Amino acid sequence: MTDLATVLRANGRRLTPQRRRIVEALAGLGHATPDAVAAQVGADGGASVPLSTIYRGLEALEALGVVSHTHLDHRAPTYHLTGHADHVHLVCRACGRIDEVPASAATEFVAQISASRGFAADVTHMAVHGVCAECRS
Amino acid sequence: MTDLATVLRANGRRLTPQRRRIVEALAGLGHATPDAVAAQVGADGGASVPLSTIYRGLEALEALGVVSHTHLDHRAPTYHLTGHADHVHLVCRACGRIDEVPASAATEFVAQISASRGFAADVTHMAVHGVCAECRS
DNA sequence: TTGAATGCAAAAAATTTGCATATTG
DNA sequence: CAATATGCAAATTTTTTGCATTCAA
């Protein structure tokens, strides 16, 4: 936790209560859109934080590698703590359900494109679309 | 081409000149955002087509499986013809470059999650983020 | 102190929707 | 002719920006 302050300060940034709350919200939610983060932050009892601050906070934290985001579905960037367990998201195109599988399932795939293209893939929180088991039947 | 009309009619939809131009635009561009499609459609000499029609057209075509979309970067759904060569996009987080590798590179990966979760992944045009060869050095 | 961050409010983008009119099948 | 699509304009939604004020370091 104090680590957060360290990372920010090391880059001339500051740890404000708002940012601390953004991180806490993400820790509790796992994944969340800026909107959802705002809602969660507002739900912790304290004063609500304007969306603009949420956006700027997430942006600052992402620049420092504390959080990152992916696009699980249509229009919604979902943020998560970088430390959050690495996994790939399986997004069902039919029912919308989102399942997860450990990122290790893609190890081979990652190695392959690294070898063939020199591309260092980061499959953490990668979104894979398709149809889930239930919807297939 | 006439096939397009068939698919639409088979579902009670209609082939309008606008939709034909949308498909032509995609064929020429490969991938494109709704905005880019509109620009291309407008560049073909004919009258410009309002964005709302582009959106509705893409939606209708996607529902019939003629086109589909993915999110390559931050805020931009990119559409492409379903028939367009299957490949996975390698999006460089550093320079923004987008490279492609055949979808077959993910065969093993797809098989794995199918076996473990019964999830039928469609990696066509899947976006994989990371750092490209040049930016790594 | 002093520059970074917040809060608001207003501006931009990006989509979506209502509806009268035009068109396709 | 009947139902689907288009065009436009207006309404939403989502994200960004300007700025005076507050606050962390």
Residue-wise pLDDT for A63-80, tens only, equals: 999 999 988 877 778 999
Q: How confident is the model at residue A1 (pLDDT cuts 50, 70, 90)?
A: low
Give per-residue pLDDT as tens, A25-40. 999 999 999 999 999 9
CA–CA dist A3, B36 (Å, integer): 44
Q: Which residues of A have a CB under 8 Å from any CB of B?
A: 70-71, 74-75, 77, 88, 90, 92-93, 99, 101, 105-106, 108-109, 112-113, 116-123, 126-133, 136
Q: What is the mean pLDDT of chain A?
A: 92
Shared-domain flag, residues B35 and B52 = yes
- pTM of this prediction? 0.88
Q: What is the pLDDT of residue B97?
A: 84
Q: What is the pLDDT of residue A72?
A: 83
- How many structural domains does chain A have? 2
Shared-domain flag, residues A76 and A114 = no
Last residue of one domain, picked from the residues A68, A83, A98: A83
Q: What is the pLDDT of residue A48?
A: 94
Q: What is the pLDDT of residue B51?
A: 97
Q: What is the pLDDT of residue B52?
A: 98
Shared-domain flag, residues A52 and A75 = yes
CA–CA dist A54, A34 (Å, integer): 7
Last residue of one domain, picked from the residues B66, B83, B100: B83
Shared-domain flag, residues B77 and B90 = no
Q: Domain with B132 in it: what CATH number?
A: 3.30.1490.190
Shared-domain flag, residues A6 and A63 = yes
**Domain containing residue A57:** 2-83
Shared-domain flag, residues B8 and B74 = yes
Shared-domain flag, residues B103 and B56 = no
Q: How confident is the model at residue A94 (pLDDT cuts 50, 70, 90)?
A: confident
Last residue of one domain, picked from the residues B83, B98, B119: B83
What does the angle CA B31 – CA B34 – CA B37 come to, to the nearest 5 degrees?
A: 65
Q: Which residues of B1-40 are buried (b: 16+ CB within 10 A; e: fewer)?
A: eeebeeebeeeeeebeebbbbbbebbeebebbbbebbbeb
Query: Chains A, B: CB contacts under 8 A, how many?
Result: 100
Shared-domain flag, residues B60 and B116 = no
B90, B134 contact by CB (below 8 A)? no
Helix (H) or strand (E) holding A114: helix A107-117
Helix (H) or strand (E) holding B16: none
Q: How confident is the model at residue A19 (pLDDT cuts 50, 70, 90)?
A: very high
Shared-domain flag, residues A6 and A61 = yes
How many angstroms separate the CA of residue A46 from the nearest CA in chain B? 31
Q: What is the pLDDT of residue A73?
A: 75
Instruction: Give burial (CB, 10 Å; 0-12/13-18/19+) of B90.
Output: buried
Q: What is the pLDDT of residue B1?
A: 53
Q: Given B105, B116, B118, which is nearest A113 (Cβ)? A: B105
Helix (H) or strand (E) holding A24: helix A17-29
- Tens-binned pLDDT, residue by residue, of chain B (137 aa): 568 999 999 999 999 999 999 999 999 999 999 999 999 999 878 899 999 999 999 999 999 999 999 888 777 789 999 988 789 999 888 888 888 999 999 999 999 999 999 999 999 889 999 999 999 98
Shared-domain flag, residues A64 and A46 = yes
Tokens of residue A88, six digits: 């790939």
Give per-residue pLDDT as tens, A126-137. 999 999 999 998
Q: What's the distance, CA A51 to chain centroid?
A: 17
Q: What is the pLDDT of residue A8?
A: 97
Shared-domain flag, residues A77 and A118 = no
Q: Domain with B76 in it: what CATH number?
A: 1.10.10.10
Shared-domain flag, residues B76 and B14 = yes
Which region among A81-85, A107-111, A130-134 has the lowest average model confidence (pLDDT)?
Answer: A81-85
What does the angle CA B29 – CA B32 – CA B36 come to, to the nearest 5 degrees?
A: 95
> Strand D: which bases are under 7 Å from protein Cβ?
3-10, 14-18, 23-25
